[in-house]
Amino acid sequence: MTASAELDETGRADDEPRRSRHAVRLLPGRAALTGLPWDRIGPLLVSALAGALVFHRLGEPHALVWDETYYAKDAWSLLQFGVEHNWNADRQGHPADLHFLSGHPEAGLAGGGEWAAHPPLGKWFIAAGMALLGTGPFGFRAAAALAGVLTVLILARTARRMTGSTVLGCAAGLLVALDGSWLVSSRLAMLDVFLLLWLVAGFACLVVDRDRTRAALAGGAGRFLGRRWRFAAGLCFGLACATKWSAVYVVAFLWVLVILWDRKARKDAGAERPWRATAKLDVPLAFVQFWVVAGAVYLASWWGWFASGTGLQQAVFGRRVPGFQRDWAEYHPSGVWPSFLDPIRSLWHYHAMTLDFHAGVTEPNPAQSWPWEWPWLGHPAVMYRSASDGCGADPCAAEIAHVGTPAIWWAAIAALIAVAAFVRDWRAAAVVGGYLACWLPWFPNALDDRTMYSTYTLPMLPFAVLALVLLAQRLHAALPVTARVAGAVFVLVAAANLYHLHPILTAEPLPEPARQARLWLPGWS
């Protein structure tokens, strides 16, 4: 097959819906593979490559890395009790971590329910991997690895829909798979990659909804539209919020964005008063689709906590262990609210305590970084470092640093600026706005000296990559041959960049001079 596949198969970047094509355009005489659905095969091949990167040596190191000390053990607790359980552990996780890694987690338990700083859903996903594959490192990391691969697949398909190009869609998925921060997050039992998955999935549903809505209105459909893809987006956003609260910032931005999309769609369809039609027909439904659906999903994710201490927990798990603050309302009766709402009042109190806790985390940490450092990878978190004898040198070290691939993140800064300046359509607002919605809300926390880490940058990655492919499409329209060569060179540079950094992303033993050579910026040490 020749490399002359079109970068823009539809030849359009306007507001008209795009039709999916199942064939890659080839040079004359090279049509043997034309009939294959490359818009599906291509993203699947890229996802397979992503899976190979993630699952290779997934069980190494045999340790609880960074916040795995919380999430892996909490996931095991959910399997046993339906709720997070307390552990006999100091700040380094001892001795509970040792019991857990030796295959005897019950020996590390303490009494009662644990105060968990994040909602339970991401830990339930980790628990599902452990239920299928065991409680060892491979088992408790498997769900995160799968989530990372699915993110690549969904983003590739979404980028293809946004650009009309199978090549650019596959390039978007490939660039995510070549990013170091994605690789590290997909190889650890932490929550960030699940947050990423559900935000990308929700955004993908909105893009599909936008295309179908515009097509329906242009075809003379009725004024009221059911919008099932937007309900699916609300489900995904509920799953994101039930993983980490920071999803709310992105969901709020996307809610405003789709209302603007609706107004534009009705205007283009000939509505005399598009704002009035949008306010009457779209805004109320969008509120239900985003916030009511997401809120219901969020509450449902706490089912184990609601069941804790009750006969249902006894029936399902064979024991009764009330979750943290589960009985708070019982000991603090209200003269206003009826007693059947006590579980909701207790959960509200739990959330208030947790919100105060997050706001009060200001203790300095050597691994912390500030939001203004994130786009240029100024201070990535070193999540694991250990002396090793596996490299045939002395000294020898193994390390996991949460550092993105510089070729991608640094180029994305320029791409975002260029897209904001030169791409005059809905995609620019979605991509640049999405990136800022993932980034700017952390600045007020930084002004309050809140301790934060480079792991918070992960939701910015898909929007950074989409900016790169949108810029590539813009350049291809002006300079087709040059853009193709430059794009291929850029992907190769990103791959070489990841290959060079790979040992400090995956705890491969390295001689100390070789490790130091990979610490490009002063903040990386």
Q: What pLDDT sits at residue 359?
A: 85
Token pair belonging to 97: 């971590």
Residue whose entry in the numeric block shows the structure tokens 């880490």: 453
In whole angstroms, what is the distance from residue 133 CA to residue 127 CA?
10
Q: What pLDDT sits at residue 24?
A: 40
Dihedral angle over CA of 144, 454, 412, 433, nearest 10: 90
Contacts of 449 (CB under 8 A, 6+ apart): 362
- Do 427 and 395 meet the contact criterion of CB atoms below 8 Å apart? no
For the segment 434-459, what is each residue's pLDDT rounded down to a tens digit?
999 999 999 999 999 999 999 999 99
221-245 as b/e, with b when 16 or more CB fall inside 10 Å?
eeeebebebbbbbbbbbbbbbbbbb
525 residues of the chain, pLDDT tens digit each: 333 334 443 434 444 434 433 334 444 444 456 678 888 999 999 999 999 999 999 999 999 999 999 999 999 999 999 999 999 998 888 999 999 999 999 999 998 999 999 999 999 999 999 999 999 999 999 999 999 999 999 999 999 999 999 999 999 999 999 999 999 999 999 999 999 999 999 999 999 999 999 988 887 765 666 789 999 999 999 999 999 999 999 999 999 999 999 999 999 988 889 899 899 988 999 999 999 999 999 999 999 999 999 999 999 999 999 999 999 999 998 888 888 899 999 999 999 999 999 888 888 889 999 999 999 999 999 999 998 777 777 788 999 999 999 999 999 999 999 999 998 899 999 999 999 999 999 999 999 999 999 999 999 999 999 999 999 999 999 999 999 999 999 999 999 999 999 999 999 999 989 999 999 999 998
Residue whose entry in the numeric block shows the structure tokens 């039930």: 242
Q: What pLDDT sits at residue 316?
A: 96
- Do 187 and 458 meet the contact criterion of CB atoms below 8 Å apart? no
Q: Is 89 helix (H, G, I), strand (E, B) or coil?
A: strand
Q: What pLDDT sits at residue 428?
A: 96
> Across all residues in the chain, what is the average pLDDT?
91
Q: Is 241 helix (H, G, I), strand (E, B) or coil?
A: helix
DSSP code string of 365-405:
-TT---GGGTTTT-S--EEEEEE-SSSSSSSEEEEEE----
Its pTM stands at 0.93
In whole angstroms, what is the distance from residue 200 CA to residue 198 CA?
5
Closest CA to 174 of 519, 506, 468, 523: 468
What percent of the residues of the chain are helix, what percent strand, and what percent coil, each to the nearest 5? Answer: 60, 5, 35
E strand spans, 388-487: 396-401
Q: What pLDDT sits at residue 54?
A: 98
Q: What pLDDT sits at residue 19?
A: 41
In whole angstroms, what is the distance from residue 335 CA to residue 328 CA?
15
Residue 82, φ and ψ in degrees, nearest 5: 80, 0
H or E element at residue 110: strand 109-113
Q: What pLDDT sits at residue 227?
A: 84
In whole angstroms, what is the distance from residue 51 CA to residue 58 CA?
11
Q: What pLDDT sits at residue 161?
A: 97
Question: How many residues does the structure list for the chain?
Answer: 525
Closest CA to 95 of 114, 110, 81, 82: 110
